[in-house]
Amino acid sequence: MSKILGFIKKRPFYFLGGAILVILLITVIFKNGQNKGLEITVREGTIIQEVEATGKTKPAESVDLSFEKSGLVKSINVKIGNQVVAGQTLITLSNGELRAQLLEAEANLDAEGATLEEYKKSTRPEEIAIQETKVQNARVALESTKRNLIENIKNAYTEADNAIHNETDQLFSNPKTNPRLSYEAANSSLKTEIEFSRLKIETSLTVLESEVNKLTSQSDLNSQAEKTKDALETIRILLDKINLTLNNPSNLSSATAQSYKDIVSGARTSILDALSSLSASLEKFKNAESDLKLSENELLLDQAGRTPEEILSQEARVKEALAKIQNIQSQIEKTILRAPIGGTISKQETKVGEIISTNSNIVSIISENDLEIEANIPEINIGNMALSNPVSIEFDALPNEKFTGKVIQIEPGETIVNGVVNFKIVVAIDLLDPRVKSGFTSGLTIETGKKENVLILPRYAVFKKNGKYFVNQPISNNKIEETEITLGISGRDGNVEIVSGLSLGDIVLEEKK
């Protein structure tokens, strides 16, 4: 130390010059260090863009249930808090009448189906033989009625001929050619009608006799029977008119008048009996003809089998019967309230015997094992979000535990929260813990972008000027140059992606404030 002090005393100018030089060097170095700032190297790495939000858990599905029709509550199978599975019966209304209708409809379907099967089968030879026998029997019956009808037509003619020629003509003079009543009638006009009618009857009886004598089983018996009935009816009317004139004859004794009345009454009774027998045999004949025609048609059907049109028609009846069953089943189903989803009963507001009105909400179900998280995202961040973005989840009720999920829904319409525009998102939880309940508050960290092996810099090394981004780069002679760059995504760790303007290993300086 004494040597150094001796040197300074001997050579003071050297010491002063050296000190000045050291001070200048330190000043330059210090000044350059202040201007240059911290050097940062552009490096390659991974950058993750994230958005933070707060949400609440809610059931993925929640339904309110009601009946489509009103009715009396018959049974209740659940209460609040019960676990149910999809399709489980919850409440049933009284439906006994509908079930009775269903049984009737099912029986009708069976019958129509059996008929269809018969239609599709060919008729067996035994059935054809039976039908042929029916036809033969019908023909025999028809021939019998023909003979009976012919006999009754002939008997009717005989009765008509007897009533006129043997009975009534006793009251006339020249009855066949110029009939005149043998007594004076009080009503001359009626007397004239009687005499004219008697003359016409003579002609009709002559024609009728000719036709009756020619009758065979091949004749038109129906027409002939009708003509005979007309003739009998004409004679009956004539007898009724004659009977009227005998009530007060002007030139007959009481005994003679009574005798004439007896004659007319007997003839009239014979005519009425003949009409009754003829009408009955004619009706039997018509029925026999109809029976034969029906039997012949049935035989033709059996021989030919059912037509395609008949089968199609029967198939339509089967479908109609089936549709009726389905309609009744649908009505019955409307009396049964079933769980559309699995979950927990959160509401049940009815009791047995109560009348339920249409569309009255009486049961609610929330899905227990499928919870989602709803959160509101400010509009400034929503543009970066997309479906399937991964999400890190923390629940206030389960501190220090982390869960994962993904964004499954982004509502297109805005939601105003405290006057701020937000957009609602829904997050599905990947593996749901049984401890997580509906209504839990959750913290969400949503990964909206991730890039690997990209150029990155700390955000503080970048500054903005005139709407563009720059960094300071050192160049030779201790100078700094502003370099324009293009940014990509920003990470929550403070780093930003460098898209262009810099290369791996480039040096930039920390931006001085």
| Span 476-507, pLDDT tens digits | 777 889 999 999 898 888 899 999 999 998 99
User: What sign does the dihedral 87-89-93-99 (CA atoms) show?
Assistant: positive
Write the pLDDT tens digit of every residue in 153-207.
Answer: 999 999 999 999 999 999 999 999 999 999 988 888 999 999 999 999 999 999 9
**Can you give the pLDDT at residue 22?**
42
Provide the CB-side half-sphere exposure for 316 (13 A, CA): 6
- Point out the least confidently predicted range of 39-43, 278-282, 430-434, 504-508: 430-434
pLDDT-derived band of residue 470, with 50, 70 and 90 as boundaries? very high
Give the SS3 label for residue 64: strand
- 3-state percent breakdown (helix, strand, coil) of the chain, nearest 5: 50, 30, 25
**Can you give the pLDDT at residue 205?**
94
pLDDT-derived band of residue 305, with 50, 70 and 90 as boundaries? low
Class of domain 126-304: mainly alpha
- Letter string b/e over residues 375-386, b meaning 16 or more CB atoms within 10 A of that residue's CB: bbbeeebbebbe
Cβ neighbours for 309, distance < 8 A, ≥ 6 positions apart: none
What is each CA distance from 95 to 68, 72, 109, 331, in whole angstroms? 14, 9, 21, 9
- Calculated CA dihedral for residues 24, 29, 34, 37, nearest 10 degrees: 170
pLDDT-derived band of residue 27, with 50, 70 and 90 as boundaries? very low
- Considering only residues 118 and 365, tell me which one the structure prediction assigns the higher pLDDT: 365
Asked whether the predicted pLDDT for residue 52 surpasses 60, the reply is yes
Instruction: Put the strands of the sheet holding 336-338 in their side by side order.
Output: 336-338, 89-93, 71-76, 355-356
**Can you give the pLDDT at residue 159?**
94
Q: Return the CATH fold of 62-94+335-366.
A: OB fold (Dihydrolipoamide Acetyltransferase, E2P) (2.40.50)
**Can you give the pLDDT at residue 244?**
92
- DSSP tag of 219: S
Write the pLDDT tens digit of every residue in 92-137.
Answer: 999 989 999 999 999 999 999 988 887 777 666 777 788 889 889 9
DSSP strand pairing (355-356 vs 89-93): unpaired
Q: What percent of the chain has pLDDT over 70?
A: 90
Asked whether the predicted pLDDT for residue 60 surpasses 50, the reply is yes
CA distance 144 to 281: 10
Asked whether the predicted pLDDT for residue 16 surpasses 60, the reply is no
Asked whether the predicted pLDDT for residue 5 surpasses 70, the reply is no
DSSP strand pairing (479-490 vs 402-417): unpaired
CA distance 276 to 233: 11
- Point out the least confidently predicted range of 215-219, 268-272, 430-434: 430-434
Cβ neighbours for 177, distance < 8 A, ≥ 6 positions apart: none
Q: What percent of the chain has pLDDT over 90?
A: 52
- Considering only residues 36 and 508, tell me which one the structure prediction assigns the higher pLDDT: 508
Domain boundaries 45-59+370-509, corresponding CATH code = 2.40.30.170
Q: For residue 82, what are its two tokens?
A: 């019960």
CA distance 173 to 184: 13
Cβ neighbours for 45, distance < 8 A, ≥ 6 positions apart: 453, 454, 456, 495
* Mean pLDDT (the chain, rounded): 86
> Which amino acid, residue 458?
P
Q: What is the DSSP string of 370-421?
A: -EEEEEEEEHHHHTT--TT-EEEEEETTSTT-EEEEEEEEEEEEEEEETTEE
pLDDT-derived band of residue 29, with 50, 70 and 90 as boundaries? very low
Task: Report the pLDDT averaged over residues 332-337.
Answer: 91
For the chain, domain boundaries = 2-36, 45-59+370-509, 62-94+335-366, 102-122+307-332, 126-304
Task: Report the pLDDT averaged over residues 302-318.
Answer: 80
**Can you give the pLDDT at residue 371?**
82
- Point out the least confidently predicted range of 159-173, 228-242, 346-360, 362-376: 362-376
pLDDT-derived band of residue 24, with 50, 70 and 90 as boundaries? very low
**Can you give the pLDDT at residue 131?**
82
- DSSP tag of 165: I
